[in-house]
Structure formats: structure tokens, C-alpha cells
Amino acid sequence: MNWLHAILLGIVEGITEFLPVSSTGHLNIVERLLGYDIDSRGMTAFTAVIQVGAIIAAIVYFSGDIVRIVRAWLRGLTDREARTDPDFTLGWGIILGSIPVAVVGLAFRHWIEGPLRSMWVIAIALLVWSAAMWAADRMAANNATPKEMGDITVRDSLIVGAFQALAPLFPGVSRSGATISAGLVLGYDRVTATRLSFFMGIPALVAAGGLEAVTAAGDISATVGWGPTILATAVSFGVAYAAIAWLLRFVSKNSFTSFIVYRVALGLLIIGLLAGGVIAA
């Protein structure tokens, strides 16, 4: 991989990782258009590893929240009174809510890295999940008394985690799109649902990227190269940090309609390109 392609893919990853538009779907599309074999082990690993840059951006951005949650969780392990702290419950929710995606990722790894990495799957998932996002967003708009961060329960976190597990199975669904939609359906306001999506994504994406870095180090060296991979990861960090700040401001005042329209347009465009033979599935 040349350096320019690495920078471009890092930008794509940084912009799309936390927006509800599917970062994996976008990376696969751009990689395909650049002429790369998205089914190769090296490109699969590259796509997973550069997500670590974006997730580190989330860790840095929410570092104060993360430290507070970790402290509350640790105190609650030994102090009964500390267990009344909403952050203690949130800590357990993040831990337990991360289990479904880990189970799905490991159990269906062969399918995730093979047959499901198809442009047809991405296009259909973009369209189908857009309908789910629209329904969830309408529910949020009609919710007169939305729940906030302090109302999060372990049960709700497990439900959000179960939705998060859809993302690796169907690139195009979008991990953030799935988790935010689940949060909205459960009655949380848009900002809380979005913040919860960030928190739930940190363990999952760090684990996925770390696993690929360890198990596919040789594949990356032999194909993409570690230089471009590190560069793309660094670029994704900087771009993702700016995207996080923008998204939180955006959802505090706007619905997700613009993202839904974009997803539908992109899904239809991909189908058109596939049908016209411009890109291969």
C-alpha cells in the first residue's frame, strides 16, 4: 500500500467509525475502488487494526468519564454503599454488554472475514438498517421523558450490546448505528444513546484491533505493510477525535435523518455500481 492510500483510508476510518454510517462498509468500498482485494487476510487485518486509532481518540476524548466510571466500579466491588453510584452500574453494563460482540466475533470469525465481506451485503445492510434507524429516531422524537446517562441499567446495556453484535456480522449495519438505535428504542435521549455507543465500542474495538495485530502481523507485513498501517492508524486518530466532538454537538440539536438519507443514497449507489459492473462484489 502506498502512503497516499494509507492517509485516505485513515481519513475514511476516522470520519466514519463513530458516525452511524458503517466504517467497515466505507473502508471496504474505498479499498475496492482503489483496487485492493478486500477478502485478503492482510486487508481484513488492516481494516481492523486502523480502527484502534479511532478508538484511542475516543479513550482520550472521554478519559475523564472513563476514569470516573472505573473508580466507581472498583469502589463498588468492596463497598456496598458505593454500588448505588450510577457509574458502578454503568461499569458493569459496559463490561457485560461487550460480551455479545466478543462471542459473535469469535464464533463467526470465518464468515465475518469471508462470505459476509461482500458489496451486496454492505448495500443491503445499509438500506435495511436505515429503516430500523428511522423507526428508532421517530420513537426518540416522540419520547417526552427520555432517560439519561444516570438511568442506564445492566439490562439495557446487555440489550445495546446484543445490537452491537450485529455490526461485525453485517458490514453496513454500522456498530454505532446499531447501538444508538438500541439506546433510542430503550428510551434514552440522542446524546445519551450516542455516548453509550462510544463507551460500549471501546472494549470491542480495542479487542478486535489488538487480536488482528497479534494474529495477523505476518499477513500485514507481507501485504499492506506496517508502515502504511501505522500511518493510517495515526491519521484515523486525529480525524476521529474531531468527528467525536462534532457528532456530540450535532446530535444535541438534530435528529439522525441526514445520516439515514445518506445511508440510503449510498446503498442505492453501491447496488447501481454492482449492477453496472463498475465494481465487483
- Cell numbers for 177: 448505528
* pLDDT confidence tier of residue 174, bands split at 50, 70 and 90: confident
Residue 139 — φ and ψ, nearest 5°? -60, -40
Residue 111 pLDDT more than 70?
Answer: no
How confident is the model at residue 113, as a pLDDT?
Answer: 62
Mean pLDDT, residues 262-269 taken together: 93
pLDDT in tens, 83-110: 889 999 999 989 988 888 878 777 766 6
How confident is the model at residue 112, as a pLDDT?
Answer: 61
* pLDDT confidence tier of residue 203, bands split at 50, 70 and 90: confident
Mean pLDDT, residues 119-128 taken together: 89
pLDDT in tens, 34-84: 988 877 888 888 888 888 899 899 999 999 999 999 999 999 998 888 888
- Cell numbers for 29: 468500498
Mean pLDDT, residues 142-155 taken together: 87
How confident is the model at residue 16, as a pLDDT?
Answer: 92
